[in-house]
Amino acid sequence: MNHLKIIIIGAGIGGLTAGLALKRAGYTVEIYEKTREIRPAGAGISIWSNGVKVLNSLGLGDEIAKIGGQMDRMEYRSHTDELYNQINLHPVTETVGQRPYPVSRTELQSLLLNAFNNNIETVKLNTQFIGVEQDAQGITAYFANGDQTRGDLLIAADGIHSQLRDYVVGHPVELRYAGYVNWNGLIEINPNLGDKNTWVIYVGESKRASMMPIGNNRFYYFFGCPMARGIIVEPDHRQRELKQIFAQWPSPVQCLIETLNPQELNRLEIHDLDPLETIVKGRVVLLGDAAHASTPTLGQGGCQAMEDAEILSRFLLTTNLGVEYALKRYETERKERTSTLVIKARKRADIIYGKDPYLTQQWYQQLQQETEQDVTQALSKTILGGPFH
Ligand SMILES: Cc1cc2nc3c(=O)[nH]c(=O)nc-3n(C[C@H](O)[C@H](O)[C@H](O)COP(=O)(O)OP(=O)(O)OC[C@H]3O[C@@H](n4cnc5c(N)ncnc54)[C@H](O)[C@@H]3O)c2cc1C
């Protein structure tokens, strides 16, 4: 189909990637974002090769490589510093044809935003979506400032707390607490923390602590620990909280906790979403976390939003039976892939964070037997399931 006007709600990873893909396809795109300034939640993000391939296809390959970390190896260690396994990640790159790039979220967001804004139109910031109406000819979106706009379809890329999800599904949908808290931030690399090209993951006591190299000589670090829901810890006390939870863990972890900047330490309870029965209602379609928010244990949430963008743009461009038909094709194509990954990530979270302590112990043992081939196969399978094999 040609000459469509597409309204996107949300300028996160999903909304911006979709905006870029749809503009490249020749459509008129308007993106509306409620915040005044786009400030991504969280410090870093790993864009696995399936996500990088989408960015490559949008002409952003050089730019993502510039901000990406060189993650050559991955290493599992116990909380008593026993080396469980050390995996060379080059075979994964060889198998799938593209390196992964862990990056700073702010830098990724700027990269996508600049790429979108460079193409004449700009994201309309400080414009909160409040409602939608649709008819046989198109959709009208309404905003809190009194503005309205009309288009052929509306993409709800409004994130995990999506306002449009209930509208699309037809009933209220609750998020599911995954049972653990995540802390994360960025820190300059120094040898006391670890090797600059290795992604290290310490696991034990149903918790984990990890550092992943991103561009500009920094680690993206994250911690995770099972915890009851609703415990509030003020920013000033979070470093102390980590010291208590990870007391006696190996010296790189202690060094990380000592030297991290407490002002830039994020803390969040992790939620996900049961797979939805539908992600399309007429001319309105969910994309990214709005459609399939996941626990971050596979590092695939943002990558899936990128894949969504690519597939949606393909169906709009290559089919000619109307907008609603193209959106249904997108739904069919994406539902199985994203549901499978959400459930896989959930199971992994349960194992990592000790939902059944026996299974967690078994997993620690499995890690010690895991070979490079096992890891290459597992990672490649997920990556090659995407739109660019
Ligand atoms: C701790 C953690 C670690 C993660 N690590 C990884 C990883 O390593 N790799 C990976 O691929 N994924 C990872 N993810 C998942 C990834 O962050 C998300 O999947 C991704 O950010 C989703 O992008 P999105 O565009 O769908 O939503 P968001 O990035 O949340 O963007 C939604 C946007 O919509 C805007 N918005 C909301 N409501 C309105 C409204 N009414 N009007 C206008 N605008 C609105 C919001 O302000 C926001 O800017 C992680 C997630 C977490 C929590």
**What atom of ligand 1 comes closest to residue 14's alpha carbon?**
25
Question: What b/e sequence results for 267-280 when a residue is b if at least 16 CB atoms lie within 10 Å of its CB, and e otherwise?
Answer: bebbbbbebbeebb
Instruction: For residue 200, give both structure tokens.
Output: 């290290």
Secondary structure percentages of the chain, helix, strand, coil, to 5: 40, 25, 35
Sort strands 176-188 and 153-156 into parallel, antiparallel or unpaired. unpaired
CA–CA separation, 114 and 28 (whole Å): 17
Assess whether the C-beta atom of 17 lies below 6 angstroms from ligand 1.
Answer: no
Instruction: For residue 306, give both structure tokens.
Output: 């990128």
Q: Which of 35, 158, 272 to mutate to test the pocket of ligand 1 (most atoms within 8 A of CB)?
A: 158
Assess whether the C-beta atom of 35 lies below 6 angstroms from ligand 1.
Answer: yes
Assess whether the C-beta atom of 12 lies below 6 angstroms from ligand 1.
Answer: yes
Residue of the CA atom closest to atom 33 of ligand 1: 10
Residue of the CA atom closest to atom 21 of ligand 1: 302
**What atom of ligand 1 comes closest to residue 129's alpha carbon?**
42
Give the model's pLDDT for residue 120. 57
Q: Identify the CA nearest to 286 among candidates 38, 15, 5, 54.
A: 15
Cβ atoms of 178 and 271 within 8 Å: the answer is yes
CA of 45 to the centre of ligand 1 (A): 11
Assess whether the C-beta atom of 288 lies below 6 angstroms from ligand 1.
Answer: yes
Q: Along the chain (389 residues), what's the average pLDDT of each consecutive run of 10 residues?
A: 97 97 96 88 92 98 98 97 96 97 96 84 92 97 98 98 98 98 97 97 98 97 98 95 98 98 95 98 98 98 98 97 98 97 98 98 96 93 93
Residue with tokens 């391939």: 53
Give the model's pLDDT for residue 298. 97
Give the model's pLDDT for residue 40. 72
Give the model's pLDDT for residue 188. 97
Give the model's pLDDT for residue 119. 56
Give the model's pLDDT for residue 163. 96
Report how far Cα 379 is from the mean position of its chain's Cα atoms: 16
Q: Identify the CA nearest to 225 among candidates 251, 202, 259, 250.
A: 202
